[in-house]
Each structure stands twice: as C-alpha cells, then as structure tokens.
Amino acid sequence: MRRRLYPQVGAASHSHCRTSKMKTITRLLILFLSVSGICVFWGEEVLQYVLPQQQRSCACDRCLFENDTLAIQNISRFPQPLLSRKYNLSEEDFNWWKRLQPGGGSISDYRKKIEKVFQLIPDNPPLEASSPGYCRTCAVVGNSRNLLKSHYGPLIDFQDYVIRINRGRSKGFEADVGNRTTHHVMYLESASQLDNTTRPVLFTFKMRDLEWITRVLSTQPSGKKSLFNKDLAMVLNPAFMRNIHQVWLQKKGAYASTGFMALALALHICDEVHVFGFGADSDGNWSHYWDKVPNKKIKTGGHPGKVEYEMIEELASHQVLKFYKGW
C-alpha cells in the first residue's frame, strides 16, 4: 500500500485554513450585527444622515445641473431663463440687449412695452420642476440638411418635449424630423403658424419685437387666425441671452443663434436632452433641410456657428447631452 507523504503536515495545514475562515466569518457576522444594532438604536437619525446622499434630482441615468452646475467648467444653472411679469431686468443686462440690433430706447421704454406684453400672455411661464421619480426628455430639432435621410423621426417623437426652431417644419419630412412639436422657439421675423397646443417661445432682439408681440397677440380682425395660442406664449429673458453669449460662448460672435439658445433652454427645462440637425451638411452647406436646392451662400451671419458646433460637441463629450450628427 502506498504511504501518504507528510500526513501530519497536511492535516495541520488544513486545520489552520479552516480556523482562519471561521474567524473571518465570525468577524463579518459581528460587524453586521453591530451596524444593524446601531441603525435600530438610532432609527430615523441614521436614516436622515444616509438617505440625502442617495437622493437624485431626476430618474435619468444622469441628471443635468447636479449641484446646480453642469459637468463642464463655468456652466451653471441660470435662475430665470424665461421672463415673468415680476422679473426686473437690470440696466446692465438691458444695455447689452439693446445693442444687439438697431432700435434704441431706454430701460423705462422697455419696461412699459414688456408690461403690455404681459397683459396678453401668462404672468409666469409654466415650467415643470425636476422630480426624483421622473426623467423629462427633450428633442431639440435644428434645421440642418444633415437631417435628410437620417430616419431620426421616431426617436425625435419618442421624447417628452419636441422643440423646433424658427421655420422648422414636419410635413413631408416626418421620417427624418418627426411630426410632434411641443415647443417652437422663434425669432419673430421667422415666426410661423402654430397649432393651438404648441407653446411658442419668443426670442426678442430689439424694442420693435416687443411691439410686434403686442400687435400679433391683440384682438385679430374677424376671420383672421392668430399665429399661435397666446395663453401658451413665453418670452426668453434678455439676461439669459447675455449669459449664453458671455459664459457659454465666451463672447464669440455678436450673439448666440436662436438654435443654440433653444438648446441651452432645453438644458434648463429637461433632465435629458437629445440634439438633432445642427451644423453644416457633409458638403459644408448651412442651408435648411426643406430647401429643394442647397444654397451655398447661406452662412451663419453674426452667429458663431463653428464655435456653437464645437460647444455642442464638448457638451456631448461630457455626456451633458446626446448629439446626433446625421448621416
């Protein structure tokens, strides 16, 4: 019969290993019982200390403006992106705003005109607050030709809010741009007819724009349909416009484009933002997806188009938004 080698040593080693495991299990059990006892003893006081660390402002994978700051340097939440009747625009913000386009006037004139606007639209724009149990998603749909043949339509329509810009349209392009619209942001000279359920978000660049709002929203002649539902109208805050230009875009260009300001607004009213239709197409054209023939002369004007595009890419790289570049 073959003898076993070193039977006593093997047995001792096995016994030592088993003893070590038992000690480890015993220590873990004691630790678990100790922590459980503390939690039971202190009750609500312990829970109040632990739970706030676990609370989140939304139910998305990522929540925007956690601790009021985006995951990118110097970008923080602006307290009032939309005007309300009680908002008192500072003279410094007003002076920046009135230089954007010809029109002139004093801050006193501005306040009188904006008071007339708020005689026609709601005093406080309805904005839903973030909720720990809900993830509000936005689709911001630009007007670039890179949307053509993208087939983004179903993904755009799937979002809670669908934000379109200026003359952006759906008819005939549903497969690529979707057919739902909840908010339509408009520079007033690019205003288009909206249905009765879409919220118009109006961007003003001069005094005459305020007069335009008052005129358009006042009682229409018999049989003439209003451009949009005034009970749903909202006006962008000039101080917010200045913040976007100076902080987000580092004062590049004369001022931000309507599209980029719409994107920044979406980051304030949604928990998750999907961005479509920004930038030139693959041939470098900045014309619109509904143009039958690309207009190679269309550029970005006073807007820093290249800087805005790079900023969107940077926001996407920090996972602040999701950027769909087209095909």
Q: From CA 130, how far away is CA 133, in angstroms rounded?
A: 9
- Of the candidates 175, 171, 165, 174, the one whose C-alpha atom is nearest the C-alpha of residue 144 is 165
Which of the following is catalytic: 110, 289, 303, 324? 303
- The verdict on whether 16 is a catalytic residue reads no
DSSP state of 1: -
Sheet arrangement for strand 322-324: 234-235, 199-203, 183-187, 161-165, 137-141, 272-276, 322-324
* Angle between helices 107-117 and 91-98 in degrees, nearest 10: 90
DSSP conformation letters of 165-234: ETT---TT-HHHH-S--SEEEEEGGG-----TTSEEEEE--SHHHHHHHHHHHSPPPTTPPPSS-GGG-E
SS3 state of residue 236: strand
Which of the following is catalytic: 110, 161, 255, 324? 255
- The verdict on whether 303 is a catalytic residue reads yes
Tokens, residue 302: 């006073």
Enzyme catalytic residues: 255, 303
